[in-house]
Amino acid sequence: MIHHGSCHCGRIRYEVEGEVDSALACNCSICSRKGSLLWFVPRDKLRLLTPEDAASTYVFNKHVINHRFCPTCGIHPYAEGVAPGGAKMAAINLRTLEDFDLESVPVKHYDGRAA
């Protein structure tokens, strides 16, 4: 299934392919402030519909995750990183998907503060 998403102002638009079977809520210092519900997919399943440079990037701590956000409206639609096995991954903020029922997926809680 193809899902479409965007930041609030539409400067960043994307589509992502896959079945959303769960969401992850992390309590690390950035995720707890953003309030994201994350869905992880291989990076090649995320296709940007706007230029990549439309998004700004924030990195912190170990500098291994590129937190992508809109410099206009501030919304964080996705992040990019590498899975422990070496595969390029995207963390989709499910709250930025269009016409998606967040109540339809179970939420797993991850203790990112302890990681």
User: Is the Cβ–Cβ distance between 68 and 80 less than 8 Å?
Assistant: yes
Asked which of 17-21, 59-63, 90-94, 101-105 is least confident by mean pLDDT, the reply is 59-63
Domain ranges of the chain: 2-98
Do the bridges between strand 46-48 and strand 38-42 make them parallel or antiparallel, or are there none, so unpaired?
A: unpaired
Tell me: pLDDT of 62 over 90. Answer: no
**Rounded mean pLDDT, 97-115:** 92
Q: Does this model's pTM top 0.75?
A: yes
User: Is the Cβ–Cβ distance between 90 and 43 less than 8 Å?
Assistant: yes
- CATH code for the domain defined by 2-98: 2.170.150.70
User: Is the Cβ–Cβ distance between 81 and 91 less than 8 Å?
Assistant: yes
**Rounded mean pLDDT, 72-98:** 97
69-89 burial by CB neighbour count: b if 16+ within 10 A, else e? bbeeeebbbbbbbeeeeeeeb
- Say what the pLDDT of residue 113 is: 86
**Ramachandran angles phi, psi of 99, nearest 5°:** 50, 45
Tell me: pLDDT of 115 over 80. Answer: no
Q: Which residues contact 72 (CB under 8 A, 6 or more apart)?
A: 7, 9, 11
